[in-house]
Amino acid sequence: MSYFSIRSVSKAFGDQKALKGFSTELQKGNILAIVGESGSGKSTLLRIMAGLEVQSSGEVWLGEQKILNPKQKLVAGYDEIKLIHQDYALFPNSTVEENISRPLLSFDENYAKKRVEELISLLRLEPLRNKLPRQLSGGQQQKVAIAKAMSVEPEILLLDEPFSSLDSIQTRDLMDELKEVFTALGTTVILVTHDLDHALRLTDNLLILRNGKTIQKGDSQDLCLRPKSKYVAKLFSSINRIEPKGNEYVRPVDVRLRTRNGILAHVSDVRFLVHFNSLKVKIKESGEIWEVDDPERKYQIGDRVYLNWQKEKVLTLKS
Ligand code: ADP
Ligand code: MG
């Protein structure tokens, strides 16, 4: 039996359907990332998971316990399920240590102390212990907010785009640390994000949500190598259609550039990116523009190139 399960959950706001029979299951300690564009239903889904929103139909279960929605329960929400947003939800006039220990006021004092020290050490917050939130960077504040949410040992941590207001270096550092901590503590986590990169940094376990429905789930490598639809393929990189109107595609990284033999094209644009140059090339015969990677940074605008690829790299995709 699974530990946390969402069973055929639907939600409509008027005639707007935000979720359409969504189901998924997690085992204890699993980390799942749900990736979907803005408006795909991510926040609604997390609020229903946390018992903070009334669903139109379907059920949420945590072990043997059915999660009741605000219509069914006097005080909405559960201590076992913590939802964290982009805003940091810290007490502005309390130190880092005080913020983390506040949710533990009614707990045994020794236990509370031990738990706070554990979180401070795991999240490397020692140097910040006596600082106020305004003295911290955005990444540090979010880390403290997560430590605060974790102080009461929730069973499930739900993260709703918690990194949206952080810059990419802050996010990368924070995600690496969080991954370590979640694994060390065996926390069950669901992250929702529009940013595939954030998802990949936290876990291999992905679910792609579109218009309130799962369109594909699996491990990240599987989704990247065997996407079923154009939509999923394009989350990982752009794709080039091999035949006009066909359903076979090849990724820029899988196109080999040669000085002879292959499909003739001319370089029309060169962009310097961190790991390679990204080229736009115009195919002589069809006039189509393809995007291809030039890892050796060899080609210039106007150069003639011949395009090749291995058969195994061809993706067959429905639109
Ligand atoms: P995401 O978090 O992926 O951006 P949301 O769950 O916020 O998506 O929204 C999904 C859909 O439901 C959107 O079309 C949104 O406009 C609609 N929606 C969300 N909350 C409400 C609400 N309280 N009232 C009406 N429509 C809503
Ligand atoms: Mg949202």
- Which structural domain, as residue segments, surrounds residue 267? 239-316
Ligand positioned closest to the Cα atom of 15:
1
The single residue listed with the structure tokens 């503590």 is: 185
- 111 and 198 fall within a common domain: yes
Give residue-wise pLDDT tens across range 21-30. 999 999 999 9
- 99 and 149 fall within a common domain: yes
Given the DSSP bridges, would you call strands 188-193 and 31-35 parallel, antiparallel or unpaired? Answer: parallel
Q: What is the pLDDT of residue 135?
A: 96
- 62 and 138 fall within a common domain: yes
Q: Count CA atoms closer than 13 A to 151's CA, side-chain side.
A: 26
Q: What angle do CA 129, 135, 136 make, to 5 degrees?
A: 75
- 98 and 43 fall within a common domain: yes
Identify the domain boundary among 175, 192, 225.
225
Token pair of 12, please? Answer: 């409509």
Q: What is the pLDDT of residue 3?
A: 95
Which residue has a Cα nearest atom 21 of ligand 1? 13
Q: Verify whether ligand 1 is closer than 6 Å to residue 39 (CB atom).
A: yes
In a domain, residue 231? The reply is: no
**Residue 286, SS3 per DSSP:** coil
Mean of pLDDT values over 187-205: 95
CATH of the domain at 115: 3.40.50.300
The alpha helices in the chain, defined as continuous H runs, are 42-49, 96-101, 109-122, 138-150, 168-185, 196-202, 220-225, 230-236
Which ligand 1 atom is nearest residue 45's CA?
6
The C-alpha atoms of residue 50 and residue 156 are separated, in whole angstroms, by 9
Which residue has a Cα nearest atom 17 of ligand 1? 18
Q: What is the pLDDT of residue 173?
A: 87
Ligand 2 (ion): residues with CB under 5 Å are 42-43
In a domain, residue 306? The reply is: yes
CATH of the domain at 257: 2.40.50.140
Beta strands in 234-313 (DSSP E): 240-241, 248-250, 256-258, 263-272, 277-283, 289-294, 304-308
Give me Rg for the CA atoms of the chain. 24
- 143 and 45 fall within a common domain: yes
- 200 and 256 fall within a common domain: no
In a domain, residue 256? The reply is: yes
- 214 and 246 fall within a common domain: no
- 22 and 122 fall within a common domain: yes
- The structure's pTM equals 0.92
Token pair of 211, please? Answer: 């218009």
Give residue-wise pLDDT tens across range 235-249. 999 999 999 889 999
**Residue 170, SS3 per DSSP:** helix
The C-alpha atoms of residue 11 and residue 111 are separated, in whole angstroms, by 40
The C-alpha atoms of residue 9 and residue 6 are separated, in whole angstroms, by 7
In a domain, residue 230? The reply is: no
**Residue 39, SS3 per DSSP:** coil
Beta-carbon contacts of residue 114 (< 8 Å; ≥ 6 apart): none
The single residue listed with the structure tokens 């045994």 is: 108
Q: Of 52-61, 177-186, 219-228, which gets the smallest average pLDDT?
A: 177-186
In a domain, residue 69? The reply is: yes
Token pair of 46, please? Answer: 């997390």
8 A C-beta contact, residue 164 and residue 142: no
When pLDDT is cut at 50, 70 and 90, the band that residue 150 belongs to is: very high
Ligand 1 pocket test, pick from 11, 13, 191 with the greatest ligand atom count within 8 Å of Cβ, gives: 13
- 98 and 180 fall within a common domain: yes
Q: What residue type is assigned to position 267 of the chain?
A: V
Token pair of 123, please? Answer: 């999240």
Q: Verify whether ligand 1 is closer than 6 Å to residue 43 (CB atom).
A: yes
Q: Give the number of domains in the chain.
A: 2
In a domain, residue 25? The reply is: yes
* Cα 120 to ligand 1 centre (Å): 35
Q: What is the pLDDT of residue 304?
A: 96
Local structure of residue 78 (DSSP, 8 states)? B
- 294 and 263 fall within a common domain: yes
- 176 and 246 fall within a common domain: no
What number of helices (H) and strands (E) belong to the chain? 8, 18
Ligand positioned closest to the Cα atom of 19:
1
Mean of pLDDT values over 165-186: 88
Token pair of 185, please? Answer: 């503590």
The C-alpha atoms of residue 237 and residue 36 are separated, in whole angstroms, by 15
Q: Verify whether ligand 1 is closer than 6 Å to residue 272 (CB atom).
A: no
Local structure of residue 295 (DSSP, 8 states)? T
- 42 and 157 fall within a common domain: yes
* Cα 85 to ligand 2 centre (Å): 9
Q: Verify whether ligand 1 is closer than 6 Å to residue 13 (CB atom).
A: yes
